[in-house]
Each structure stands twice: as C-alpha cells, then as structure tokens.
Amino acid sequence: MPRMRMNQAISAAIADEMRANPDVIVLGEDVAVAEGPFKTSAGLLEEFGPLRVRDTPISEMGFLGAAVGAAATGLRPVVEIMFVEFLGVALDQLSTEGAKFHYLSGGQVTVPLTVRASVGAGLGFGTQHSQTLESWVVGTPGLKLAVASGPATAYGLMRAAIRDDNPVVVLEPRRLYAQREEVTTGEAGIIALGQARQAASGDDATVVALGSTVGTATEAAADGSWSADVIDLQSLQPWDQDLVYASVARTGRLVTVEENPLSGGWGADVVAAVAADLFGELKAPPLRITAPDVPVPFGKELEERYMPSSAYVGEQITELLDTGRVPPPWWQREENTP
C-alpha cells in the first residue's frame, strides 16, 4: 500500500478515474499548469493533456455551470472550487440547476458531476477562507455530499464520486492536505457513498465525526478515561443511519463532533434522527460538540479555540458520562462568558 499525503491521494484518485474513463475531465482555477494551489491535481495535465485538464478564469459560476452542461451531455467533470467559500457565487448552478436536472427531465438526464472544495479552519486563512459550509449543500435533494477525513477516505470517496451518476460534492479539510497515511488504491480503495466507517471501537458512547473532526474524536477516545465507537460519517447526504443506529443501540449515548457553528450544523440532523428513532435506547441526552456561533476568527490562539480540540472533546464526554447531562459548551462556562 503506498503511503500518501491527502493531496497526493486526491490526485491519484482523479488520475485513476481519468485512465478508466475518457469522459472524465478536470476544470478549475490553476489546476492544470500549477497543479492546483494545494497540489491536488499533480501530474494530471502532463498525463492527460490540455483538452481534459483545464485552467479556468476566476469565474466559478461560468465553469461550474459549464460543468453541469458537460455532465448533462455525457462528460464526467471534476471541478475544483479552491476554497468552498468561492462556491457562493456559483451556488445557483449547483443547487438550483445541476441538482434538479434529473428530476426536471423525468429521469432522462443525469449529471455525473464531482465538485471538490477545500474546507475548514486551522491554517490562519481568515474568516472568508476557513468555513466548512456543509450547510450550503445539505438539504438540497438531488445532491450527494461526502467529506474526506484523510488520505484513504479522500481517495476512496473521490473515485466513488466521479463514478456516481449524480452531482456529488466532496469536501476536503484544508489542514489535512499534508497528512500522510497508507492508502489502499485501485478498486479495493473505493468507498461507497452513503457508507460510514468505524474508526475506533468502545462501549461508553457513539462519537460521530466528519472530516477534520474524525482525527480529533479518535485522539480523544484514545486518551480518554472512557471508550467509544468513533464513526467517520464519510458521507453526509445520504448518511449511514444503519451504522450509527447499530452503535448507539449498543452504547446508549450519542455524541457528534462538528467543526461548524452550533446553529445549523450537520449534527442536529443526526441527533434528531437518533432521538426520534432510538429514544428508548438512550441512557443520556445526545451531546453536540461544535464551534461557537461566530465567524471563524483569525489569530492562532483564537482559531485553535474555535475548533473543537481533542482535549475539549475528551472533557465534554467525560462530563456527560459522569453527570448524565449535556455539559455547557466552553463558551457558556462561567470563566469564558463573553
């Protein structure tokens, strides 16, 4: 198994799909000659040439819309949105056009489009380049959404996304691009969309994490006085209820760990579903561990505090287990009252 950084795994996944299918093309700002600002399209221009690997102007609405049109007429475009925030100017083409074509053609038109975007805090890029923004994508029927948590999931989810006949958004936590691990490549490395993965096993709680928080939650579980199933959701739309429910039915406690603000975060959906369907199985109220409802601040100390750390996750879960109640988040504790 090759050892790869996450950006290398992404380049490898795209290259493997491009070799397998001549309809796969790559579009984005500085993805060809410069191989992507995060080096997530390394070697693609050289191997596949300028017809299939294209630098675009800074025109997200234009090139994402063009990708929708190309996908609807037979190609399988992979579009890079350098920072997920840049999706804002192109959201109509994704959510209101591309996501609706299959429905509005009575099933006759498919849109096999992959939209990749870097997400998240931790690199000091400031508030307009540090959000996760899953909330821009969930709640749009017709779209699928996957989030990478490291090199192996990035590889597997990317290949599945490119093969899927629907528009799929794949989010890539920016601070993980340089993370390295062994990656199963080839068919065996492909990860079905909608399927979660158990990243750690334990008895006291089910900790559901996504993207950057998978590592945080796994670290907390390894250090804690408690043990937990850590589930890497991998896909958010659809999400793997079976794996989560099976685990919660066994542990009796649900915790979500999210990098996004509390309000509107993906964990609310998971908690609502579990609370409704497994009400009788729960030994404690579900706990959501999130960032506060503020824009992502600049400044190393502020940014680190903004994102849930493994120490904080550990403390919150310990308190949940000790008291049977949901502990207040750090920003509501007396010593931190703003």
Partner 1 sequence: MNTPLERREALQQDRQVRYERMVEIRALENKVQDLFDEGLVHGTTHLCLGQEAVAVGVAAAARVTDQVTCTYRGHGVALALGLTPVQLLGEILGREAGSIGGIGGSMHLCDPEIGLMPTFAIVGAGIPVAAGAALTAQVRGTDDAAIAVFGDGSTNIGAFHEALNLAAIWKLPVVFVCENNQYGEYSRIDLTTPVEDIACRAESYAIGGTIVDGQDPDAVAEAVSSALDHARSGGGPTLLELKTYRYAGHSRADTAPYRPDGEFESWYEKDPIVNFGRQLLDEGVLGENGIDEVQATVNARIDAAVELVLDSAPTPVDAMFAHVLAP
**Chain contacts with partner 1 (rule: CB under 8 A):** 29-30, 33-34, 37, 55-62, 85-86, 88-89, 123-129, 292-295, 297-303, 305-306, 331, 336, 338
For Cα atoms 164, 59, 39, give the angle at the middle one, nearest 5 degrees. Answer: 60
- Reduced to 3 DSSP states, what percent helix, strand and coil does the chain have, rounded to the nearest 5? 40, 20, 40
Q: How far is the CB of 61 from partner 1 (least distance, A)?
A: 5
Please tell me the distance from the alpha carbon of residue 258 to that of residue 211, in angstroms, as a whole number.
9
Q: Which is nearer to partner 1, 59 or 198 (CB)?
A: 59
Place of tokens 């025109």: 59
Name which of 293, 251, 289, 283 is nearest 270 in CA terms.
Answer: 289
Neighbours of 16 (CB within 10 A): 20
**158 residue type, one letter:** M
Q: How far is the CB of 179 from partner 1 (least distance, A)?
A: 17
Three-state SS at 193: coil
Q: Which of 76, 116, 129, 197 is catalytic?
A: 129
Is 102 a catalytic site residue?
Answer: no
Q: Where does residue 269 rank: exposed (0-12), middle (13-18), buried (19+ CB within 10 A)?
A: middle
Q: How far is the CB of 255 from partner 1 (least distance, A)?
A: 24
Q: How far is the CB of 135 from partner 1 (least distance, A)?
A: 17
Q: Which is nearer to partner 1, 187 or 301 (CB)?
A: 301
Name which of 23, 40, 22 is nearest 31 in CA terms.
Answer: 40
Total count of residues recorded for the chain? 338
Question: In this structure, are residues 179 and 151 in contact, taking their beta carbons and an 8 Å threshold?
Answer: yes
Three-state SS at 55: strand
Is the preceding peptide bond at 327 cis, omega within 30 degrees of 0?
A: no
Q: How far is the CB of 327 from partner 1 (least distance, A)?
A: 19
Q: Which is nearer to partner 1, 165 or 293 (CB)?
A: 293
Neighbours of 156 (CB within 10 A): 26
Name which of 318, 9, 4 is nearest 172 in CA terms.
Answer: 9
Q: Which is nearer to partner 1, 16 or 303 (CB)?
A: 303
Q: How far is the CB of 24 from partner 1 (least distance, A)?
A: 23
Strands 228-232 and 197-200: antiparallel
Q: Which is nearer to partner 1, 32 or 248 (CB)?
A: 32
Name which of 199, 131, 204, 200 is nearest 171 in CA terms.
Answer: 131
Please tell me the distance from the alpha carbon of residue 103 to that of residue 105, in angstroms, as a whole number.
5
Q: Which is nearer to partner 1, 183 or 313 (CB)?
A: 313
Q: How far is the CB of 37 from partner 1 (least distance, A)?
A: 7
Q: Which is nearer to partner 1, 33 or 276 (CB)?
A: 33
Place of tokens 């919150």: 316
Active site positions, annotated: 129
